[in-house]
């Protein structure tokens, strides 16, 4: 029997560790998910890790299991926790295979950690009396998600008076500053208003930081505003007025007066308004009034009057124009037709028409040459320039 040679065992595969994700210099937080692979099964089927900051101070350490069989390559997907630097900055994670004789293989990944977010409102200070819009200035510890901050404005009764987002100046891995003009609905009776700011991740909905201030709004005086018609436009009766009031008027209605250019009253009365969500009102009213005989300027005044005390708390007016009445115009075609017919015993006289001196007879009679028959018709009459002799022409 011939003895076969003993096969030479294959040399062991040298250990190698590869980190696939995240990519180098990625901005991360804690925990962070690390994925990768090894060339061979690590000691006890696990790898060790260590986080350090820019000064090589340890931020976290531990171990995690890999997936694979002994003697075969493995993969890993590990969620690792560490203490983020208080002011942010670069961090490094070292992943290594620790054997009895020491570190068999290692891999490192440099990443970036943003500082913890914080929002600071520099102005206005809390308690300030403000209006709309209000200008807020401040800063953020880091550039916010999507480069924007969200805001909400809440009134004394808990209703939202405004909300939205505004941009922040800055960039990735930098602090931010803001100077935002925010509009909101002024509460009719005034009071304390809370303005809240927040940095929210639009993808996850998580709010990472917020800040708020409380300011004061003064009660709103009554005001009446016209939307249409614009001042100076030509109108007639009835005229339709649209507009709004800051506060809901007494009795829910507004009074009105219409006067001409010298103050003569042409019409007066009242009309209802519609309450708005904000506590004011809107109106669309058709107002009748007497037209001035020759046209001319008219003024429409609206007022909010307390029916109990008689006090008018607000008024507003708009000046409009009523055009003069149109004059009747008559067009005469071929007015001299038939006039040149010669009649026995009569001398022919030329027909000269003076259009600007025509007048209209509403009821008259038509007579024919040499005939005694008469019947009601409409006729036209003109004055001759020479001697102002009147001749009658029938139509």
CATH of the domain at 135: 2.60.40.10
Quick one: pLDDT at residue 8? 58
Residue bearing the bigger pLDDT, 12 or 112? 112
Are 173 and 253 part of one and the same domain?
no
Are 339 and 372 part of one and the same domain?
yes
Q: Domain end: 61, 87, 113, which one?
A: 113
Quick one: pLDDT at residue 87? 87
In this predicted model, what pLDDT tens digit does every residue of 222-245 receive, in sequence order? 999 999 999 999 999 999 999 999
Are 236 and 305 part of one and the same domain?
yes
Residue 363 pLDDT level (bands cut at 50, 70, 90)? very low
Are 109 and 162 part of one and the same domain?
no
CB neighbour list of residue 277: distance below 8 Å, 6 or more residues apart = none
Q: Domain end: 296, 322, 348, which one?
A: 322
Q: Which domain holds residue 256?
A: 224-322
Are 204 and 136 part of one and the same domain?
yes
Are 350 and 389 in contact, with CB atoms under 8 Å apart? no
Are 205 and 243 part of one and the same domain?
no
Distance CA 231, CA 316 (A): 12
Quick one: pLDDT at residue 329? 53
Residue 105 lies in a domain: yes
Are 97 and 156 part of one and the same domain?
no
pTM more than 0.85: no
Beta bridge partners of residue 98, listed in sequence order: 103
Residue 392 lies in a domain: yes
Q: Looking at the predicted structure, is the pLDDT value of residue 359 above 90?
A: no
Are 230 and 318 part of one and the same domain?
yes
Are 138 and 194 part of one and the same domain?
yes
In this predicted model, what pLDDT tens digit does every residue of 271-321 receive, in sequence order? 999 999 888 999 999 999 999 988 999 999 999 999 899 999 999 999 999
Are 229 and 317 part of one and the same domain?
yes
Nearest CA to 253 out of 285, 225, 228, 221 is that of 285
Q: Domain end: 98, 113, 128, which one?
A: 113
What are the DSSP E strand ranges found in 32-175? 32-38, 46-53, 58-65, 74-80, 89-99, 102-113, 119-123, 129-130, 134-140, 148-154, 160-167
In this predicted model, what pLDDT tens digit does every residue of 118-134 receive, in sequence order? 999 999 999 999 999 99
User: For the stretch 196-229, what's the b/e string if a residue is b when 16 or more beta carbons lie within 10 angstroms of its beta carbon?
Assistant: bbbbbeeeeeeebbbbebebebeebebebebeeb
Domains held by the chain: number: 4
Residue 363 lies in a domain: yes
Query: At 311, which CATH number?
Result: 2.60.40.2550
Residue 3 lies in a domain: no
Are 332 and 300 part of one and the same domain?
no
Residue 79 lies in a domain: yes
In this predicted model, what pLDDT tens digit does every residue of 74-113 receive, in sequence order? 999 999 999 999 889 999 999 999 988 899 999 999 999 9
Residue 12 lies in a domain: no
Residue 245 lies in a domain: yes
User: For the stretch 124-160, what's the b/e string if a residue is b when 16 or more beta carbons lie within 10 angstroms of its beta carbon?
Assistant: beeeeebeeebebebbbbbbbbeebbbbbbbbeeeee
Nearest CA to 240 out of 294, 312, 326, 300 is that of 300
Are 186 and 279 in contact, with CB atoms under 8 Å apart? no
Residue 277 lies in a domain: yes
């Amino acid at each position: 029997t011939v003895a076969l040679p003993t096969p030479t065992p294959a040399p062991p595969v040298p250990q190698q560790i590869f980190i696939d994700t995240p990519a180098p210099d990625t901005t991360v937080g804690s925990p962070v998910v690390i994925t990768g692979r090894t060339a061979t099964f690590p000691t006890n089927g696990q790898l060790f890790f260590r986080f350090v900051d820019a000064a090589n101070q340890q931020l976290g350490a531990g171990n995690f299991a890999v997936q694979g069989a002994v003697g075969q390559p493995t993969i890993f997907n590990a969620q690792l926790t560490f203490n983020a630097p208080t002011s942010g900055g670069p961090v490094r994670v070292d992943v290594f295979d620790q054997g009895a004789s020491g570190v068999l293989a290692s891999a490192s990944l440099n990443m970036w950690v943003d500082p913890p977010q914080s929002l600071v409102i520099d102005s206005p200070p809390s308690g300030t009396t403000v209006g709309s819009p209000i200008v807020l200035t401040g800063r953020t510890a880091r550039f916010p998600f999507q480069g924007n901050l969200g805001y909400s404005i809440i009134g004394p009764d808990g209703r939202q008076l405004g909300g939205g987002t505004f941009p922040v100046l800055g960039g990735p891995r930098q602090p931010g500053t803001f100077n935002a003009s925010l509009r909101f609905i002024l509460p009719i009776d005034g009071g304390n208003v809370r303005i809240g700011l927040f940095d929210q991740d639009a993808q996850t909905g998580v709010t990472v930081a917020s800040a708020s201030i409380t300011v004061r709004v003064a009660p709103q005086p009554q005001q009446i505003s016209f939307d249409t018609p614009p001042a100076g436009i030509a109108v007639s009766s009835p005229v339709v007025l649209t507009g709004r009031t800051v506060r809901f008027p007494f009795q829910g209605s507004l009074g009105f007066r219409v006067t001409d250019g010298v103050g003569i009253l042409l019409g007066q009365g009242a009309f209802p308004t519609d309450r708005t969500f904000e506590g004011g009102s809107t109106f669309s009213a058709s107002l009748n009034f007497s037209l001035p005989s020759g046209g001319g300027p008219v003024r429409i005044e609206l007022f909010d009057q307390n029916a109990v005390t008689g006090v008018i708390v607000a008024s507003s007016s708009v000046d409009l124009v009523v055009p003069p009445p149109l004059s009747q115009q008559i067009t005469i075609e071929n007015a001299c037709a038939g006039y040149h017919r010669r009649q026995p015993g009569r001398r022919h006289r030329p027909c000269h028409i003076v259009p600007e001196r025509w007048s209209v007879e509403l009821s008259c009679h038509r007579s024919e040459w040499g005939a005694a028959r008469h019947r009601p018709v409409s006729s036209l009459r003109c004055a001759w320039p020479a001697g102002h002799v009147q001749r009658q022409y029938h139509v």
